[in-house]
Structures are given as structure tokens and as C-alpha cells.
Structure 1
Amino acid sequence: MAFWDTPRHGGNSFNRLPPDQAYFDALRGYGATWVRLSYDKWQPAGRDFLLGDADAYQGLPAADLATLRTALDRAHQAGLKVVIAPLSLPGMRWSQNNQGPFDDRLWQDKRYWVQAAAFWRDMARELKAHPAIAAYNLINEPAPEKHGGLAEHADARQMQQWYAQARGSARDLPALYQQLIAAIREQDAVTPVMVDAGWYAAADAFDYWPAPLDDQRVLYSVHMYEPYTVTSASNMKRKRPIAYPGPAPFAGQIQQWDGQRVAQYLGQPLDWAETMKVPRERLVVAEFGCMRRLPGCRQYLEDVLGVLEHNRLHWAFYSFREDSWDGMDYELGSAKVPWRYWQAIEQGAPDPLSRKASAEFEPIRKRLNPE
């Protein structure tokens, strides 16, 4: 846990191929100290990587586990700590591996909680001794509220009323986390656990939590893409993309989004942590980003990172050298990628593009390595 006692800065790895040594060396070379590693796009031995089958978990496939260990070894050799971040659990297959639909089964039926606990018990047993591991991020961007009757970005009072009804049901996210942590602690008493807020790790979604989790080795994580109508790929498809800074749709209203509004929004998890007496060094902004080709993206990154630096929070940008989607790969600058990038994806071949520091990457680069 001592690793997290000082601010840690890193990047997200959501690649379709397991990263090679050069990948981890390059991230470390920029000054990063950790990488948040997702494996769900890697080629699985069965239906779902490491799960075998998210419909019915029966144990960790040996071939998948060996692939993960190799990636961890490479990160360790580069001098990076790793936070394992699955995008799927039993009963909650990541939508991009599910032909698109949101998989709500985990939030309807607690038998999948039992399978998820078995999965994390097995993961802890297998990974607890690996020197690269800095935390287990129990599930990326959970959204039990999505089909559960709570509007996204509802106010705190509405969220708390909703949770009063949902508490004890299969949509009780803190209760699921408690069950998963208990399973992990049967095998691993010391590795930190990272938990995302609900509604896709929204920065306002801890507002309904009445208390922190019982375990003392928990990191509380949010993601920052708000206003999503501006930062997301869909904005770039508009004839005239919504600009940043400027007015943008958010929570059913049109609001002015700028550095002040970013700071106000990111203040919500800080306020929750203060109320709950959770130390600030236990908060993580584990993802943030914007479409690199949006003219205001660089200013957005400056505004988000300014808040994170001022409050000495841990962070990891999205994303580093992603080989399946170029939208937030800031080293590529603001130009379109050439056809050979997409051709490599179709062929399952390694990413053919070289990367270098760019103006779009500068807000991140200068804070990864402030010296």
C-alpha cells in the first residue's frame, strides 16, 4: 500500500495485442510509474479472456494466465507497477465483446456474484506474489444503476433515495465489492484493491455511498470524460462538433464547461472522501481523456490535469499507444491515421505506426515527468 502514499501518474493500456517490452519501456521512459492494464481484447483460449466464459465461470484458463504473467513480467522489467483492470466479470460481459448490448445479469442475479468472487479468489491466489502488481481494480466502469431506475448524474438526494431502495439487492455495488474483497482476502491479505464508482465510474457516483468499504487497503476510483457529449467520439461525427470550452449538454441541461466547471465536478469525489474521512491519497482518477482531433482537447487535458495536480491525486490517462482505436492516442497529434493502421487491425498484425511526443500529448508528458 505504501506505493500509493505519494501521487502516482500513469497510463491506460487497452490494447488488442499483449504489449511488448518496447511498449512498457516507452511508457516508463516518459516518467510513468504505473499502468492500468486491461486484457479483455486479447485472444482468449475460450470465449472470454481469463474468465473462460462469462456465462459460467469455472476457473482461470492456464493459457490466458500465462499470457497475462508474461505481460506483467515485461511491465516489471520496465519498472512499472500494474493495476489489473478487467472489463468483464461473470454475468457482465463487456459490451464490445457482447455484440454491443449492455450485459445486466450481474446486477440482476447474485449467483453471478458468487462466480465473480470465485474469479477474484483465483486471481488473487495466482497473482499475489507477482512483484508488478500494485492493485486489483475489481471491475472497470460498473453500471448497476443503468437499468435500475437511477438517472445518470442525478443529484445527490435522488441518488441516496435510489440506493435506499437498491440496498441489499443485486444492484448494491458496495455490497458486491465487499463480497469480492472478502474472497480476495482469503488468498491475499495485502494487495490493494481499487473500486470504481457506479454509472461507469462517474465522478459524482460515490455520492450515494453511505460509508467507505470496511477494508483499509482500498483505493476509490473515478473516470473523467465529462461532458461526454464533448469529449467522446460521437462529437467528432457532428457537422459542427460541440466545442470546449463552451456550452454543452449535461444531465439534461445546457451548462458552460470550462476549467472552473471541471474543477467543480471533480470536487464531488473529493467532498465525499472528506466527509467519509477517506484520505486523499486513496482517491484515483484512473481514466480521463478527450478526442485528440477536437480543437479544444489540449485545453481540456490542461484543465483536468490542473485539478488533479492541485489536489495531489493519482491518475492514469486514457490511453497509451492503443492499437485498436486511435481516438485518444495523443502521440499521434491531430492528424488522421493512415490506412495501414486499420489494415493491421483487420489482419491481427501489430500496430505499424511510430509514436512521438506531440503538442496534443504535451499536457500529459510534462506532468508524467515534471523534471
Structure 2
Amino acid sequence: MDFWDSPRHGGNSFNRLPPDGVYFQALADYGASWVRLSYDKWAPAQRDFLLGDADQYPGLVNADLAQLIEVLDRAHQAGLKVVIAPLSLPGMRWSQNNGGVFDDRLWQDRRYWQQSADFWRDLALALRDHPAVAAYNLINEPAPEKQGGLAEHADLETMRTWYAREQGGTRDLPAFYRQVVAAIREVDPTTPVMLDAGWYAAADALSYWPQPLPDPRVLYSVHMYEPYAATSAPNLLRATPYAYPGKVPFAGAQQRWDGARVAQYLKQPFDWIAATGVPRNRLVVGEFGCMRRLPGCAQYLEDVLSVLDRKQLHWAFYSFREDSWDGMDYELGTDKVPWRYWQAIDKDEPDPLPRLSTEAFEPIARRLRK
């Protein structure tokens, strides 16, 4: 847990091919100290990587586990710590591996809670002694609220009323986390656990939790892409994209978003930790980013990072040299990628494009160098 006592800065790795040592060394050479690693795009030995089958967890798949450990070894060789962040759990298959369909079963059936606890107990037992592992991020961007009757970015009173109704049920995210953490602690009493907020880890979705978990080795994570209407891929497809800074639809209304509004929105998780007594160094912004080809992207990154600087917070930008999607790969600049990038994906070959420091990447790179 000592690793997280001072601000740690890094990047997200959501690649389709298991990253090699050159990849991790490049991130370390920028000055990153950690990487948030997802493996769900890697070729699995069975239906779902490591899980075997998210429909019915049978136990860890040994071939996949060996692949994951090999990648952890490479990160360790580069001097990086790793936060392991699965995109799928039993009963919650990542939508991109599920025909584009959101999988809500985990939030309807407690049998998947037990299978998720079994999975994490098994994985913690396998990885508890690996020197690269800095935390277990139990699931990326859970959204039990999505089909549970709570609107995204609802006001605080509405969120609290919703949680009071759902508390103790299958959509009770803190209760789910308590069960999984307890299973991990049966075999690993020391490795930190990182918990994403609900509604896809929204920065306002910690606010309805009545209290933190009792485990002292817990980190709380939020992601920052708001206003999503301006920062996301669909905005590029609009005839006239929403500008940042500028007026953007958010929570059912038109709002002006700029550096001050970003700071106001990000204040919400800080209000929660202040009210609940969680130390500031236990709060993480596990992802943030914007579409690199949007004209306001560099300004948006600067505005988000300025808040995180002032708060001396842990963060990991999205994403580092992603080989299956170029949208937030800031080293590629603002141009479209050439056809050979997509050809490599079709052929399941390594990403062929060189990376350079660019204006879009500078707000991140400058801070990594500190």
C-alpha cells in the first residue's frame, strides 16, 4: 500500500495483443510509474480470457494465466507497477465481447456474485507474490444502475433515494465489492484493491455510497470523460461537432463546459472522501481522455490535469499506444491513421505506426516527466 502514499501517474493498456517489453519501457521512459492493464482483448484459450466462460466460471484457465504472468514480468522488468483491471466478470461479459450487448446478469443474480468472488480469490492466490502487482481493480466501469432505474448523472438526492431502495439487493455495488474483497482477503491480506464507482465509474457516482468499505487497503477510482457528448467518438461524426470549451448537452440540459466546469464536476468525489474520512491518497482517476482529433482535446486534457495537479491525485490517462483503436492515442497527433494500421488489426499483426510527442500528448507527457 505504500506505493500509493504519494501521487502516482501512468497510463492505461487496453491492447489486443499482449504488450511486449518495448511497449512497457516506452511508457516508463516517459516517466510513468504504473500501468492499468486489461487483458480482455487478448486471444483467449477458451471463450473468455482467464475466466474460461463468463456464463459459468469453471476456474482459471492456466494458459491464459501464464500469458498474464509473462506480461506482468515484462512490466516489472521496465520498472512499472501494474493494476490489473478486467473488463469482464462472471455474469458481466464486456459488451464488445458480447455482440455489443450490455450484460446485466451480475446485477440480477447473486450466483454471479459468488462466481466473481471465486474468480478473484483464485486470481489473487495466483498473483499475490508477483512484484509488479500494485492493486486489483475488481471490475472496469460497473453499471448496476444502468438497467436499475437510475438516470446517469442524476442529482445527489435522487441517487441516494435510489440506493436506499436497492441497498441489500443485487444492484448494491458496495455490497458486491464487500463480498469480493472478503474472498480476496482469504488468500491475500495485503495487496490493495481498487474499486470503480458505479455508472461506468462516473465521478459523481461515488456520492450515493453511505460509507467506504471497512478494508483499509482500498483505493476508490473514478473516470473522467465528461462532458461525454464533446469528448467521445460520436462527436466526430456530427456535421458540426460540439466544441470544448463550449455548450454541450449534459444530464438533460445544455451546459457550458470549460476548465471551471471540469473542476466543479470533479469536486464531487473529493466531497465524498472528505465526508467519509477516506484519505486523499486513496482516490484515483483511473481513466481520463478525449478524442485526439477534436480541436479542443489538448485543452480538455490540460483542464482535467490541472485539477488533478492541485489535488495531488493518482491518475492514468487513456490510453497508451492502443493497437485496436486510435481514438485516444495522443502520440498519433490529429490526423487519421493510415490504412496499414487497420490492415495490421485484420491480420492480427503488431501495430506498425511510429509514435511521436505531439501537441495533444504534451499535457500528459509534461507531467509524466516531472
> What is the TM-score of this pair, normalised by structure 1?
0.99
1:287 corresponds to: 287
* Structural mapping, 1:123-134, within 5 Å: 123-134=123-134
State the Cα deviation string for residues 79-104 of structure 1 (Å, max 9, x = none): 00000000000000000000001000
Offset at residue 356 of structure 1 (A): 1.4
2:354 corresponds to: 354
Q: Say yes or no: does 1:302 pair with 2:307.
A: no
Secondary structure class of the residue paired with 1:315: strand
Offset at residue 292 of structure 1 (A): 0.2
CA–CA distance in structure 2, aligned partners of residues 266 and 326 of structure 1: 26
Offset at residue 188 of structure 1 (A): 0.2
1:329 corresponds to: 329
**What letter is aligned with 2:345?**
I
Offset at residue 308 of structure 1 (A): 0.3
* Structural mapping, 1:217-296, within 5 Å: 217-296=217-296
CA–CA distance in structure 2, aligned partners of residues 80 and 240 of structure 1: 41
Secondary structure class of the residue paired with 1:249: strand
Offset at residue 152 of structure 1 (A): 0.3
1:312 corresponds to: 312
1:119 corresponds to: 119
CA–CA distance in structure 2, aligned partners of residues 186 and 45 of structure 1: 28
Secondary structure class of the residue paired with 1:170: coil
CA–CA distance in structure 2, aligned partners of residues 265 and 279 of structure 1: 20
Worse overlay, 71-80 or 352-361: 352-361
2:191 corresponds to: 191
* Structural mapping, 1:43-58, within 5 Å: 43-58=43-58
CA–CA distance in structure 2, aligned partners of residues 198 and 261 of structure 1: 21
2:28 corresponds to: 28
Offset at residue 123 of structure 1 (A): 0.5
1:3 corresponds to: 3
* Structural mapping, 1:11-22, within 5 Å: 11-22=11-22
State the Cα deviation string for residues 255-287 of structure 1 (Å, max 9, x = none): 010000000000000000000010000000000
1:343 corresponds to: 343
Secondary structure class of the residue paired with 1:90: coil
**Identical amino acids, percent of aligned pairs:** 73
2:171 corresponds to: 171
2:89 corresponds to: 89
CA–CA distance in structure 2, aligned partners of residues 78 and 45 of structure 1: 27
CA–CA distance in structure 2, aligned partners of residues 353 and 126 of structure 1: 35
Secondary structure class of the residue paired with 2:11: strand
State the Cα deviation string for residues 192-240 of structure 1 (Å, max 9, x = none): 0000000000000011100000100000000000000000000000011
Secondary structure class of the residue paired with 1:219: strand
**What letter is aligned with 1:86?**
P
Offset at residue 9 of structure 1 (A): 0.1
CA–CA distance in structure 2, aligned partners of residues 95 and 237 of structure 1: 22
CA–CA distance in structure 2, aligned partners of residues 185 and 65 of structure 1: 20
Q: Say yes or no: does 1:67 pair with 2:64.
A: no
1:41 corresponds to: 41
* Structural mapping, 1:151-166, within 5 Å: 151-166=151-166
CA–CA distance in structure 2, aligned partners of residues 237 and 145 of structure 1: 28
CA–CA distance in structure 1, aligned partners of residues 178 and 251 of structure 2: 30
Secondary structure class of the residue paired with 2:149: coil
Secondary structure class of the residue paired with 2:83: strand
State the Cα deviation string for residues 159-204 of structure 1 (Å, max 9, x = none): 0000001001110000000000000000100000000000000000
CA–CA distance in structure 2, aligned partners of residues 194 and 134 of structure 1: 10
Give the unaligned 5+ runs of structure 2.
none
Q: Say yes or no: does 1:207 pair with 2:214.
A: no
Offset at residue 12 of structure 1 (A): 0.1
CA–CA distance in structure 2, aligned partners of residues 16 and 277 of structure 1: 39
Give the unaligned 5+ runs of structure 1.
none
CA–CA distance in structure 1, aligned partners of residues 141 and 265 of structure 2: 18
CA–CA distance in structure 2, aligned partners of residues 369 and 71 of structure 1: 24
